[in-house]
Homo-oligomer: A and B are copies of this chain.
Amino acid sequence: MEQKIILTVDVVLFTLVEGGLQVLLLKRTHEPYMDQLALPGGYIHAETDVDSRAGARRVLKEKTGLVSPYLEQLYSFSGGARDPRGWSVSIAYYALVDSTVLIEQGPTACTLLPVDDLPQLPFDHNRIIAFAVERLRNKSAYSALPCYLLPPAFTLTELQKTYEMVIGNKLDKSAFRRKLNDLDFLEPVAEVRTGVHRPAQLYRIRPTRNLVLFDRLISK
């Protein structure tokens, strides 16, 4: 007893600009909801996608040209009400990307909108985005996740500002640096960022497969 169930993947791609956290939306090229802004998504290709993660990566690449340094399965949204075509499942992923890469290598016709001020979107995409924002905010408070919103090398002040924008409160510079030092997941690179004032040491994430997790939330 099997049923005709629609299976798609959707990707919530985040980036950070001066105004705050943004999500990438594209004009839909097919029915339903043709021409409306929505999350990049598409059908699973059973012949070519080894699993849903590969499908999400492919969809992101095909629709935006981007390869994200961080792609994680978010949740599977399902039910008979979320898609007019019938009972459906969307395996949703979220991805983080540096805004300069997005602007340089991203699609020409994409829209970046602030996550806290979105229009009404098709399907349950508002719910998916809200879910992804919550996950990103929660996980950022106890992990190295915000690093992936920055270019490969960044200064500690840039990283602190990124944490502050994502988790939504100010952090103390000295406590922040002490924590980074204890956690020891960053290493200096042989460059500094020069500006009009004192140059700042650049750092990168130590090459490691997994996301670094903390043993407590960063709060102040």
Q: Mark A residues whose CB is within 8 Å of B.
A: 1-7, 43-46, 50-52, 73, 75-81, 86-87, 89, 91, 142, 215-217, 219
Contact = CB atoms under 8 A, between A and B. Distances in A.
Q: Chain copies in the assembly? A: 2
Given A5-B44, A52-B79, A215-B217, 11 more contacts: A3-B43, A3-B45, A46-B80, A50-B80, A50-B81, A51-B78, A51-B79, A76-B76, A89-B91, A215-B216, A215-B219
A91 B216 CA distance: 30
Contacts of A2: 4, 6, 43
A76 to B, nearest CB: 5
A49 to B, nearest CB: 8
- The secondary-structure label for the interface of chain A is loop
Contacts of A6: 2
A50 B52 CA distance: 22
B79 A50 contact: yes
A58 to B, nearest CB: 13
A7 B88 CA distance: 10
B80 A52 contact: no
A76 B73 contact: yes
Contacts of A91: 76, 78, 89
